[in-house]
Amino acid sequence: MHYKKIIKEIKESDNPIKKKASDYVDSLLKPLGSLGVLEETAIKLAGISGSVKNSFDKKLILIFASDNGVVVEGVASAPKEVTAIQVGNFLKGVGGISVLAKSAGADIRVIDVGVDAFLDIDGLYDHKIKMGTKNLAIEDAMTIEEAELAIQKGIDMVFEAYEDGYQIIGTGEMGIGNSTTSSLLLTALTKSSLDKTVGRGAGLSQEMLEHKKKIILQALNRYENFTEDPIKLLTRYGGYDIGAMIGVYLGCAYLQIPVVVDGFISGISALMACKLNPLVKDYMLLSHKSMEPGFKLIEETLEMEAPLNMKMRLGEGTGCTLMFKIIDSSMAMINHMGQLENNNIDQCILVDIREDLI
Amino acid sequence: MHYKKIIKEIKESDNPIKKKASDYVDSLLKPLGSLGVLEETAIKLAGISGSVKNSFDKKLILIFASDNGVVVEGVASAPKEVTAIQVGNFLKGVGGISVLAKSAGADIRVIDVGVDAFLDIDGLYDHKIKMGTKNLAIEDAMTIEEAELAIQKGIDMVFEAYEDGYQIIGTGEMGIGNSTTSSLLLTALTKSSLDKTVGRGAGLSQEMLEHKKKIILQALNRYENFTEDPIKLLTRYGGYDIGAMIGVYLGCAYLQIPVVVDGFISGISALMACKLNPLVKDYMLLSHKSMEPGFKLIEETLEMEAPLNMKMRLGEGTGCTLMFKIIDSSMAMINHMGQLENNNIDQCILVDIREDLI
């Protein structure tokens, strides 16, 4: 389905079912609110699925790989070639995301949306748009058509996953240079200072970080006018991976399946998707607080908080796998805990102190 | 083995193996340090087990149930009877800890160390010391002999679990009034103000909280002299559940098996165990940040940080079950990720920025 139609047709999640789930959670054998995020998660997921009780056994991480022309400017600690190598490693089962997804009972699908190499790897989804984006420091990273195509690729991957029976999706990416593209998008969207939006990525020294900021400023200065239009921003600064992840958030919201956000690159994509339609937020769950400084700004802008403080900064969708496990625990709670009234504890003894704790 | 001998014979965890594990983690397919807490956890567990690679498939939560005489003062939101009822619910499989432990692949053992009721429940471990402690507001909660016995019970349960093949243990408790005993112990140990040590427990109103603080002050004022001796403090303020959990930490450290700390009550017990022998800390992992305000002070005093920010305040060992899942992910990382040198990425490209990120 065309992405513009998807954006128009996204619906709010089911508020009456959320209320019903919230009441049910309050009837369980525990003080009101005492399972915190497990409760909030169960209620949110009920609103998404339309049922109070749920299970999300078929889990998938969609990992979009793409190269970024800006790496010629020396903004990344690893050479461009690592993008292609890691795609191979993910599919060999030896990457971080490969082993962490397996531990969470999740499958992975790796999609080439713009790796700058000819890849012939079993199991790889080939949706290459181009051999990497152009150098955003001196020209637009991509055309409007490419930006729209990237979003569409993400949506199509969600529809395919949905048809294959997946019940929950997490977003991941691999692309040397993509903390630079993300920082640019975040700066443009929030008009914040570079201190709040630019970080060390995978492993920049202090000196390299200053250089990265210089390149980002140069890219911002290519245009006199600011814009908050996500499609225009994507065109200016890329990358294809971010475009595809925007599509994943839109597609999941349209199909009403929950989608878990990983770290910084996933987070800015989530923010862009919410800019296209704020109702997308109803279908999104944050996972972990990325060590990249811009993630805090993403949380503030989304008015959401990631519950896991793992000091991680790998990307690939690794944070999503941990949140999948938390979601399983949340489902164990709502599906299997006993209720106060059936287990000798009268509900009247419970005082609701949740408001006071905020 | 007698608890005093245990305290004397606890050894440091294995630093050379930790160094080896740390080097191995740095050889994996990722930027240095980019899996944060998953890396730190794998390294700590290597030091405990003495091997770089590990798995902790046989997991156990030990839940100590006990009543606290101080509840006659009206310091708790639920009546005392709930302790005994919940013991039954845990063993019926409908309690929060029952379903969350199952979701984490963990077993539970429920131990009566001082419930004020005659319990005849299949599967319950009967190690009742007395029918609850005395009212700490007006007299010592227990005798020295009882305090020592409670610690010994905890140690004995760890030895039994170890013989049964359990490889990792989490602590849990059930005891109406035990946030009051914990706050007292924390205040006495850290000499902090009640604003930092006393909270709303399961569900106190603002008015009830003020009353709880008054009772805590009254108990503190029974003695003119402060003491930091954990055994004396346990005698003054209780409870049996806390004593037994101190024993669990000591026993795990002695047997060199990892032990996961749950929330506030577990946390103060962990602090008391570390007071008896600071090396216990080598074997402890925190799980979640309890909503009880005193937990922050426990983290500061231990100089450790709980990685999960779940807004939970249930106790029972529920936070440990989530950390068990994180530990499984950490083991997936160290056991199954590929290494840079075998997967086409030369290690020399990696810049170590971990120091800069602190």
3-state secondary structure B104-128: CCEEEEEEEEECCCCCCCCCCEECC
Residue type, B187: T
pTM of the complete model beyond 0.80: yes
Give the gap in angstroms from C-alpha B2 to the nearest C-alpha of chain A.
36
Say if CB A237 and CB A134 are below 8 A apart: no
Give the HSE-up count for residue A163: Cα atoms under 13 Å, Cβ half-sphere. Answer: 6
B308 contacts in A (CB within 8 Å)? 307-309
Mean pLDDT of chain B: 96
- For every residue of A171-193, DSSP letters joined together read EEEE-TTHHHHHHHHHHHHH---
Per-residue DSSP letter, A50: S
- CA–CA gap between residue B149 and residue B153 (Å, rounded): 6
Please tell me whether residue B267 adopts helix, strand or coil conformation: helix
Say if CB A308 and CB A288 are below 8 A apart: yes
β-partners of residue B267 are: none
Kindly report, residue by residue over B54-90, the tens digit of the pLDDT.
999 999 999 999 999 999 999 998 999 999 999 999 9
CATH of domain B3-53+333-357: 1.10.1610.10
Give the HSE-up count for residue B272: Cα atoms under 13 Å, Cβ half-sphere. Answer: 35
Query: Which chain A residues in 236-265 lie under 8 Å from chain B, judged by CB atoms?
Result: none
B53 contacts in A (CB within 8 Å)? none
> Is there a cis peptide before residue A177, judged by omega within 30 degrees of 0?
no
Listed as ranges, residues in chain A with pLDDT below 50 are none
Kindly report, residue by residue over B326-358, the tens digit of the pLDDT.
999 999 999 999 999 888 787 556 777 787 776
> Is there a cis peptide before residue B172, judged by omega within 30 degrees of 0?
no
Helices and strands, counts by H and E, chain A: 15, 6
- Reply yes or no on whether the pLDDT at B96 is more than 90: yes
> How far out from the chain centre does Cα A296 lie?
14
Burial class of residue B213 in the structure, from the number of CB atoms within 10 Å of its CB (0-12 exposed, 13-18 middle, 19+ buried)? middle
Give the gap in angstroms from C-alpha B193 to the nearest C-alpha of chain A.
19
Which are the contacts of A334, defined by CB distance < 8 A and separation ≥ 6? A21, A24, A25, A28, A42, A46, A52, A53, A54
A172 contacts in B (CB within 8 Å)? none
Q: What is the fold, at CATH topology level, of the domain defined by A59-327?
A: Rossmann fold (3.40.50)
Please report the pLDDT score of residue A347 as a whole number. 56
Delimit the domains of chain A by residue range. 3-53+333-357, 59-327
β-partners of residue B110 are: B63
Say if CB B35 and CB A96 are below 8 A apart: yes
B347 touches chain A (CB under 8 A): no
The pair of three-digit structure tokens given for residue A257, joined into one six-digit string: 């399946």
Helices and strands, counts by H and E, chain B: 15, 6
The pair of three-digit structure tokens given for residue B150, joined into one six-digit string: 């409670």
- For every residue of B164-192, DSSP letters joined together read TT--EEEEEEE-TTHHHHHHHHHHHHH--
Kindly report, residue by residue over B156-169, the tens digit of the pLDDT.
999 999 999 999 99
Query: Which chain B residues in 131-160 lie under 8 Å from chain A, judged by CB atoms?
Result: none
Kindly report, residue by residue over A142-171, the tens digit of the pLDDT.
999 999 999 999 999 999 999 999 999 999
Which are the contacts of B26, defined by CB distance < 8 A and separation ≥ 6? B32
CB contact under 8 Å between A310 and B353, yes or no, is no
For A188, B243, B271, the CA distances from B230, given in Å and listed in that order, are: 56, 9, 9
A205 contacts in B (CB within 8 Å)? 351, 353
- Asked if B12 is an active-site residue, the reply is no
ipTM above 0.90, yes or no: yes
Per-residue DSSP letter, A338: P
- CA–CA gap between residue A59 and residue A55 (Å, rounded): 10
Please report the pLDDT score of residue A15 as a whole number. 97
Inter-axis angle of helices A178-190 and A294-302, nearest 10: 40
Within A32-173, residue ranges assigned H as helices are 36-49, 81-92, 96-103, 144-163
Ramachandran quadrant class, B311 (left: phi over 0; alpha: psi -120 to 50; beta: rest): left
Query: Which chain B residues in 4-33 lie under 8 Å from chain A, judged by CB atoms?
Result: 28-33
Please report the pLDDT score of residue B348 as a whole number. 53
Say if CB A33 and CB A354 are below 8 A apart: yes
Which are the contacts of A297, defined by CB distance < 8 A and separation ≥ 6? A186, A190, A192, A196, A197
Which of B29, B32, B35, B121 to mutate to test binding with chain A, by most A CBs within 10 Å of its CB? Answer: B29
